[in-house]
Amino acid sequence: MNGPAGRLSGRIRVGLPPDEALRLFTPRGERDWVAGWSPRFPVPTTDDGAPGTVFETEAHGATTTWLVLARQPGRHISYARVTPRDRAGTVTVTVHGSGGHSEVEVTYALTALSDAAAGGLQDFADGYPAFLRSWQDAIEAWLSGPGGVRCRA
């Protein structure tokens, strides 16, 4: 990632078939394994992954507005995201695999919205491999815990 814009991509493994793995990367699905993730929907929706769905999240003292751009069930979902005065861009999740395991590719394409935000975006880029490892660890912990899929009867 150079300067105020960049593209970051990496993969994690998820011990679920593709349809179930992709659900973990929907607005409501992330609540299962992301501590503090609490999407707010300005318009009620039953299908939080439908293209055109808007939601907001709070993190690090800032509000981010998200828009579902596209979805291919069991395979792919992409979002636009804007955190005012900080960063804007897209997040794309693509699931590869069959059977009971999936490889999930997560791509962020972000632009800093100010010179001040460029440093924070560079820090995010520098820590991206560890960031994705933390996702994989959190998903594995959830899957093996009392609320995880593997523990359901």
For the packed helices 115-126 and 128-144, what is the interaxial angle rounded to 10 degrees?
A: 60
pLDDT in tens, 86-137: 999 999 999 999 888 999 999 999 999 999 899 999 999 999 999 999 999 9
- Assess whether pLDDT exceeds 90 at residue 30: yes
pLDDT in tens, 44-64: 999 999 999 999 999 888 999
> What per-residue string of b and e applies to 124-147 under the rule 16 or more CB within 10 Å gives b?
bbeebeeebeebbebbbebbeeee
Tokens 């791509």 correspond to what residue?
Answer: 107
Instruction: State the pTM of this model.
Output: 0.89
Backbone angle region of 60, left / alpha / beta, with phi > 0 → left and psi within -120 to 50 → alpha: left
State the chain's mean pLDDT as an integer.
Answer: 90
pLDDT at 98: 81
Q: How many domains is the chain built from?
A: 1
> Residue 46 is part of which domain span?
5-151
Tokens representing 123 are 């820090």
Cross-strand pairs, 102: 14, 97
DSSP conformational letter for 16: S
CATH number at residue 49: 3.30.530.20
Q: pLDDT confidence of 147, banded at 50, 70, 90?
A: low
CA distance 140 to 21: 12
Cross-strand pairs, 98: 101
Q: What angle do CA 99, 93, 153 make, to 5 degrees?
A: 40
pLDDT at 152: 34
pLDDT at 43: 95
Q: pLDDT confidence of 1, banded at 50, 70, 90?
A: very low
- Assess whether pLDDT exceeds 90 at residue 150: no
Torsion, Cα of 70, 73, 76, 77 (10° steps)? 40
